[in-house]
């Protein structure tokens, strides 16, 4: 019951926050998105003020009462000072480089201040775990890189950024939770394909001594079964499968010696889709490292062979976004 209520409250809070502070490319810290409340130290300060008041009242000591009122006014003033320390700052999104799943994504944010104003001791980070203090070093525009660990490939939308400040006296906590309108492309994490991990059907195929054949002096490796079309050499027909299913399949072999290699979704039969993407990613990186041209074939996606840098990026992003609904964002762990 209680946890339900808690859940509902948390959900409602997120809903309220999303409504009030929607994601934006550029944000200006102002009254609408800044929150302020006395910190624990501020609460202790109020206790001190109460003690002063009791002391002054009980001893009918006007000077101590005067001090008490001075402390009250400083408490009130610190609301303004703390608020002004964040007010007017601009937050803009920088370019974020794609990362591989499981790595730390560096979200780049530009924090800009107006001229002639001092902003001190502002910490910036994700949620409650605040990591960095903005170090202006005399500049008016500071690049802040916030690391966040991303576990899933796809388009990663970072969580809300929190800016927090206790300046000047620590009596007040002024903060904001800003949703930043940016996404990070997350490639699948590259994993080397290991035969021992392959599924039974692929193993069966290899058992039939189809894994390697020598055709016209070139080493070829069995890759997958394709439907047989008329006119193709009968030597490539998978008779065993024909006997089992009555459908003519052709054994497709990959030519390792050729310059142009094809990365294909169907190269890893029986493997889970996410794993296939990870294997493909590894292969693509391998090819790129060897500066060989390669092509990519995914269901519904086809990228012609090339060996340029942009080609690699295109391939990797195709792997990252394969069957990803762009509206759904993945979540990261931070």
Shortest Cβ distance from residue 136 to other proteins (Å)?
A: 9
Under rule CB under 8 A, residue 28 binds other proteins: no
Give the binding range for other proteins (CB under 8 A) out of 4-12, 51-59, 216-224, 255-263.
51-59
User: Are the C-beta atoms of 154 and 324 separated by less than 8 Å?
Assistant: yes
Under rule CB under 8 A, residue 290 binds other proteins: no
Give the binding range for other proteins (CB under 8 A) out of 88-96, 165-173, 228-236, 267-275.
165-173
Shortest Cβ distance from residue 285 to other proteins (Å)?
A: 38
Which of 282, 216, 204, 280 lies closest to 244 in space, CA to CA?
A: 204
Under rule CB under 8 A, residue 74 binds other proteins: yes
Q: Which is nearer to other proteins, 8 or 59 (CB)?
A: 59
Q: Which is nearer to other proteins, 120 or 323 (CB)?
A: 120
* Angle between the N-to-C axes of helices 62-86 and 40-58, in degrees from 0 to 180, rounded to the nearest 10: 160
Cα 261 to Cα 194: distance, rounded to the nearest angstrom: 19
In sequence order, which residues have a C-beta less than 8 Å from that of residue 306 and are 6 or more positions away?
293, 294, 295
Q: Which is nearer to other proteins, 72 or 303 (CB)?
A: 72
Number of residues located near other proteins, criterion CB under 8 A: 46
Q: Which is nearer to other proteins, 102 or 168 (CB)?
A: 168
Under rule CB under 8 A, residue 126 binds other proteins: no
Under rule CB under 8 A, residue 48 binds other proteins: yes
Q: Locate 3 and state its tokens.
A: 């946890």
Shortest Cβ distance from residue 182 to other proteins (Å)?
A: 25
Under rule CB under 8 A, residue 123 binds other proteins: yes
Under rule CB under 8 A, residue 170 binds other proteins: yes
Which of 289, 286, 284, 326 lies closest to 303 in space, CA to CA?
A: 284
Under rule CB under 8 A, residue 210 binds other proteins: no
Q: Which is nearer to other proteins, 69 or 110 (CB)?
A: 69
Shortest Cβ distance from residue 59 to other proteins (Å)?
A: 6
Q: Locate 14 and state its tokens.
A: 């997120």
Under rule CB under 8 A, residue 160 binds other proteins: no
Which of 270, 277, 283 lies closest to 323 in space, CA to CA?
A: 277
Question: Which residue blocks in 21-106 are alpha helix, DSSP H?
Answer: 40-58, 62-86
Under rule CB under 8 A, residue 275 binds other proteins: no
Task: Pick the binder of other proteins from 77, 305, 306, 312 (CB under 8 A).
Answer: 77
Q: Which is nearer to other proteins, 23 or 72 (CB)?
A: 72
User: Are the C-beta atoms of 161 and 91 separated by less than 8 Å?
Assistant: yes
Under rule CB under 8 A, residue 115 binds other proteins: no
Under rule CB under 8 A, residue 98 binds other proteins: no
Give the binding range for other proteins (CB under 8 A) out of 7-15, 53-61, 202-210, 266-274.
53-61
In sequence order, which residues have a C-beta less than 8 Å from that of residue 199 and are 6 or more positions away?
269, 270, 271
The C-alpha R_g of the chain, in whole angstroms, comes to 31
Q: What residues does 72 pair with on adjacent strands? A: none
Q: Residue 54 to residues 1, 10, 38, 65: CA-CA distances in angstroms?
A: 43, 40, 22, 9
Q: Locate 247 and state its tokens.
A: 């459908």
Which of 160, 175, 163 lies closest to 35 in space, CA to CA?
A: 175
- The residue ranges that bind other proteins (CB under 8 A) are 39-41, 44-45, 48, 51-52, 54-55, 57-67, 69-74, 76-78, 80-81, 120-121, 123, 130, 133, 135, 164, 166-171, 173
């Amino acid at each position: 019951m209680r946890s339900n209520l808690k859940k509902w409250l948390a959900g409602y809070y997120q809903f309220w926050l999303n409504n009030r502070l929607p994601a934006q490319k550029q944000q200006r810290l102002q009254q609408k998105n800044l929150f302020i409340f006395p910190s624990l130290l501020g609460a202790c300060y109020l206790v001190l003020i109460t003690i002063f008041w009791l002391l002054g009242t009980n001893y009918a000591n006007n000077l101590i009462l005067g001090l008490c009122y001075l402390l009250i006014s400083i408490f009130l003033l610190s609301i303004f000072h703390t608020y002004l320390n964040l007010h007017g700052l601009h937050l803009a999104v920088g370019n974020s480089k794609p990362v591989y799943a499981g790595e730390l994504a560096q979200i780049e944010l530009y924090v800009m201040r107006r001229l002639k104003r001092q902003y001190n001791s502002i910490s910036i980070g994700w949620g409650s775990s605040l990591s960095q203090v903005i170090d202006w070093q005399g500049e008016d525009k500071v690049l802040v890189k916030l690391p966040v660990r991303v576990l899933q490939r796809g388009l990663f939308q970072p969580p809300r950024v929190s800016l927090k400040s206790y300046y000047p006296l620590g009596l007040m906590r002024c903060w904001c939770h800003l949703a930043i309108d940016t996404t990070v492309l997350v490639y699948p994490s590259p994993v080397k394909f290991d035969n021992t991990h392959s599924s039974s059907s692929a193993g069966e195929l290899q058992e039939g001594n189809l894994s390697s054949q020598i055709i016209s002096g070139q080493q070829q490796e069995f890759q997958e079964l394709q439907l047989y079309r008329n006119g193709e050499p009968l030597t490539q027909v998978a008779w065993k499968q024909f006997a089992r299913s009555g459908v003519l399949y052709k054994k497709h072999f990959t030519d390792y010696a050729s310059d142009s290699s094809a990365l294909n979704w169907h190269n890893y039969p029986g493997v889970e889709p996410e794993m296939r993407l990870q294997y493909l990613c590894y292969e693509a990186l391998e090819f790129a490292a060897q500066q060989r041209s390669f092509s990519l074939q995914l269901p519904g996606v086809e990228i012609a062979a090339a060996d340029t840098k942009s080609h690699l990026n295109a391939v990797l992003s195709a792997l990252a976004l394969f069957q990803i609904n762009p509206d759904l964002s993945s979540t990261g762990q931070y």
